[in-house]
Amino acid sequence: MLSNILTIKLTEILDEKLTPEKVGFRSGFNATDYPQAINQVMEKAEEFYLKIYMAFIDCSCAFDLMQ
């Protein structure tokens, strides 16, 4: 019961402090929307002849995941 209370309180506090860009493991957010946003950035950069730099980090090695 204590862990449930802590989870609820911490979730409320973190949801207020985290920006919408930080979607991992948060309710009400969907990480599948972000590939579309990246695609739009790439299209606009091409349209206006801008260079863009992106870095993608594979964090699967940081967690104990079975592959």
pLDDT of 15: 85
Domain contains 31: yes
Q: What range does the domain containing 49 cover?
A: 2-62
Residue 67 lies in a domain: no
pTM of the model: 0.47
Residue 18 C-beta-side C-alpha neighbours within 13 Å: 16
| Tens digit of each residue's pLDDT, the chain (67 residues) | 999 999 999 988 988 888 877 776 777 777 677 788 889 899 999 999 999 998 887 777 777 665 5
* HSE-up of residue 17 (Cα within 13 Å, Cβ side): 6
Number of domains in the chain: 1
